[in-house]
Amino acid sequence: MNNTELWQSVLAQMQFHISKANFSTWFQNTEIISKENEKITISVPNAFSKEWLSNKYNKLILKTLHDIDSSTKELEFVIKPQSVKNTIPATLLENEKQEDAQLKFEEFKINKETNLNPRYTFDNFVVGSFNELAHAAALAVADNPGLTYNPLFVYGGTGLGKTHLIQAVGNKIYNESKKKRVKYISSEKFVSGIVSAIRTNSMEAFKASLAPIDVLILDDIQFIAGKNKSQEEFFHVFNSLYEKNKQIILSSDRPPNAIAELEDRLRSRFEGGMIADVSLPDYETRLVILKQKLQEKNANLPEDVLDYIAANVKKNIRELEGALNKLLVHNKINQALDLKKTKELLKGFVFSPFDIANYKKIIETVAKFYNLEEKNLFDPTRRKEIVKPRQIAMFLLRRELKYSFPAIARKFGGKDHTTAIYAYKKINQENEENNKLTEELNLIKQRIYSG
Ligand code: ADP
Ligand code: MG
C-alpha cells in the first residue's frame, strides 16, 4: 500500500465519523507526504486546516491510521500550498480499478448543477419492511414529479437512508429528463442562504434563484424549527413552487407533528402530501444490505464474518457500512480476516442495549426530543409540556432499564414512588390507546438506541 492508498483508506473511514460538511472543509487537499518509521507526515493547504486537524482530528486520524498500520505512532501536519486543485479527486478518479472501488471517494463527484451525489440511486437502495412505504412513495414521486404526492416528507433516525432515498428521487428525475431542474439543498445551507439574503437585502434575488426549480429537495428540514424569519420565507418559497406543481421533497428526523417550534402553517403544508418513515432494518435485511454493498464494491468477505456484522451492528445503516468498510480495508492489506479478527476490529461498532440505553442517554434524549433542557425534566411543576416528558422519562427508565420505582423516584428528587408508578401506568396505557404517543415513544427509543 503506497501513501496515496493509505490516505484514501483513512479518508474512506473518516467520512463515517464526521459530517460531510466538516469532511470536505478539513480534508480537501490533504495528503500523506512521507512515512518514516513511526511518523506520518500529512500536508495541508493552510495554517487554518493545520490548526483544526492537529487540534480536533489528530486523535481520530491517528487511531484510523493505527488500525490500518499499527506501526504508526505519531502524526505531523505541514503546510503545503496546493498548486493543483483537489489532489484527492484527481487521484481517486484515476483509480478506476475495480478492486479499489471501496476506497473511491464519492464526495467529490457531486453534480454541480443539482448538488446530488450520483451514488445515491434506487438501484442500490435495499428495500425491506422497515422502509417500504417511503421507498414506494419516493418511486411514485420520481415517476411523476409534482403530480403524485406533494410534498413528499420522509422521516426517521440518523443513518437510516433518508438522504439516500430523497437523492435517489432527484437522480432518477434528473437522469430521465435533463430538462428538469433538480436542486438538493441541506436545510442548514438553505437557512444560511435565507439569513444572508436577509442581511444583504437580496431576498428577491434569492427567491428568483429558486423559481425555475422543478424539484426542490431539502434535507433535514427540522433544522428550520425555531428560526422564524427563515420559516416565513420558506413558507412563501414553498407556496410558489407548490402552486406551479413543482415537486418538493423533505426529510426530517421526526414527523411534522413532532417538530417543536414549527409554524402551524408550515406543519400543515408538510402534512398535506405524503408522510413516510424509515426505521431500523432487521437482521435479514442487514445481511442483504451488506451483500449489496459488497457487490457494489466488487469485494467479498467470509459468510460467518457477514453474519457477525449483521447480527451485531444494529445501530443504523451508516454504521453497518462503516463496519464493512473497516473490515474491507483490513482485508485488503492483511488478507486474513477471520471471525476473531472481525470481533476485535468491530469493538467500537458493537453495543449491547444496556451499553447504549443508560440513564443519561434516556434523560438527554427525552429532553432533546421535547426541546427542553435536561434540568427541566426535574422541575417540580405541573406544566403539561414538562409533565408529559417527565412521565415518559420515568416510563423509559422502567421499561428499558428495569429501574425499580423507588430508584426512579429517587432520581426525580425523592418523590414518593407512587408518582413513578402512576407515570409508568399512565404512559403505558396511553401507549396502547394513542397512536401519536406510540409514534413519539418509538422515535425516542430509536434515538436512544441509534444516536
Ligand atoms: P440519513 O440521511 O437517514 O442519516 P443516509 O441516507 O445518509 O442516512 O444513509 C447512511 C448510509 O447508509 C449511506 O451510505 C446510504 O447509502 C446507506 N443506506 C441507507 N439506507 C440504505 C438502504 N436502504 N440500502 C442501501 N444503503 C442504504
Ligand atoms: Mg441525511
24: confidence class by pLDDT, cuts 50, 70, 90: low
- The answer to whether the bond into 151 is cis (omega within 30° of 0) is yes
Distance 421 CA to ligand 1 centre (A): 40
Who contacts 368 (Cβ-Cβ below 8 Å, separation ≥6)?
A: none
Q: Which three cell numbers, joined as nine digits, stand for 146? A: 409534482
Report the residue among 154, 252, 318 best suited for mutation to probe ligand 1: largest number of ligand atoms under 8 A from its CB.
318
pLDDT at 19: 64
Ligand number nearest CA of 281 is: 1
Mean pLDDT, the chain, as a whole number? 87
Question: 62-73 pLDDT, tens per residue?
Answer: 988 888 888 889
* Predicted TM-score of the model (pTM): 0.67
pLDDT band of residue 104 (cuts 50, 70, 90) is very low
pLDDT tens-place string over residues 301-351: 999 999 999 999 988 999 999 999 999 998 888 777 899 999 999 988 886
CA of 236 to the centre of ligand 1 (A): 31
Q: Is the pLDDT of residue 84 over 90?
A: no
Average pLDDT over residues 138-143: 96
For 209-227, what is each residue's pLDDT tens digit? 999 999 999 999 999 999 9
With a 6 Å cutoff on the Cβ, whether 126 touches ligand 1 is yes
User: Is the minimum distance from the CB of 237 to ligand 1 under 6 angstroms?
Assistant: no
- CA terminus-to-terminus distance, the chain: 34
